[in-house]
A = this chain, B = another copy of it.
Amino acid sequence: MLVERFAENPLITPDDVRPSRADYEVIGAFNAGAVEYNGETILLLRIAQRPLDKPADVQIAPILNPDTGEIELFRKNNNDPNIEIPDTRGFYYKSKLYLTSISHLQLARSTDGINFTVDPNPAVFPKTPYETFGIEDPRITPLEGRFVITYKVVSENGICTALMETEDFKTFHRKGIIFCPMNVDVVIFPEKINGCYYALTRPVPMYLGPPAIWIASSPDLINWGNHKPLLPPRPDYFDSSKTGASCVPIKTEEGWIEIYHASDEKNHYHIAAALLDLDDPAKVIARAKIPLMKPRAGYETKGFFSNVVFACGHTRKNDEITIYYGASDESTAAAKTTIKKIVSTLQ
């Protein structure tokens, strides 16, 4: 068995999280960054909320007003001739996309990595004009004595990646947009390599090119360049449709192990691994011939958006890796594996 799902899964569900306002409900507690800090496992969860008691015949998009800091509701009737409703996650009005929920980041803490207590209040709430539709899918990299966090920012300007830093998971410092729309699923390597910082990025191109893992480097974490495609989708594999970085790369003797996510033609998400050169992570040494995980458990195959296992974080104890992953865009689950088992999936 390549991975062992925790018997306690899902570890965190929307019911475990108090909404930020009494008139809202939490519909997602998922896609968490993970890190060991002060003897605890810290998860920085994406919490998706929406207004309670939505009438069945309207669509509502909660949108931050960056001037007031308040969330305002954009409402349209289902029978409005300008509306289109592709699925539960959003709707189009006059060809513009709106989301039916808005996400923020909230901490959960555990001493055993299994039983988590979710903080009562958000850690980071949408604030800037680039975050009006929400902030999502954080990845936490321990780096040079503090933590750098990449996160997805969503607004009417586009979907892209911003950076923040924290030393204590109490105060978070925003550092601005580091990759233009559309670019998501960015993870930063946990150390400099030959004098440069490195990141895996996931541009989502228009017209030409698949959504694929690229690599970039930086002198200072703010300015990025030397962009190169790295792990494109492969026809006839489980990762034939899209690839994107998931966890912060894991340093091993063999190379950097990247645990990534990949979808197939049916839009089913998988978790898989690739091995990158220690001294030049723009070189791929090996890549998964089979995935580590695919949706199988009930909480993975049914949910807000079904058939998704999507990791944003892991923890490591020696050879043992715990992958924390979002299940069906709704809950947080975990699975254990080992470096050895991961390497066995590579070709």
Contacts and interface: CB of A to CB of B under 8 A. Distances in A.
Interface of A: 96-97, 133, 154-160, 176-183, 201, 203-209, 212, 214, 216-220, 222-229, 232
30 contacts: A96-B208, A97-B208, A133-B208, A157-B209, A157-B232, A158-B209, A159-B205, A159-B209, A160-B203, A176-B227, A177-B226, A178-B227, A180-B183, A180-B201, A180-B203, A180-B227, A181-B203, A181-B205, A181-B206, A182-B205, A182-B206, A182-B207, A205-B206, A218-B223, A218-B225, A219-B223, A220-B223, A223-B225, A223-B226, A224-B224
Contacts of A222: 225-226
Contacts of A156: 208-209
4 closest A-B pairs by beta carbon, nearest first, are: A158-B209, A181-B205, A223-B223, A158-B205
How many monomers of this protein are in the complex?
2
Contacts of A208: 96-97, 133, 154-159, 181-182
A178 B180 CA distance: 11
Contact of A97 (B177, B178, B207, B226): B207
A228 B177 contact: yes
A228 B226 CA distance: 20
Contacts of A179: 180, 227
Contact of A227 (B177, B217, B227): B177
A157 B155 CA distance: 26
A174 to B, nearest CB: 12
Interface centre among A176, A180, A223, A224 (most CB of B within 10 A): A180
A178 B155 CA distance: 24
A179 B214 CA distance: 12
A178 B182 CA distance: 15
Nearest to A159: B208
A226 B207 CA distance: 26
Contacts of A154: 208
Nearest to A218: B223
Contacts of A224: 223-225
Contacts of A232: 157
Contacts of A219: 219-220, 223
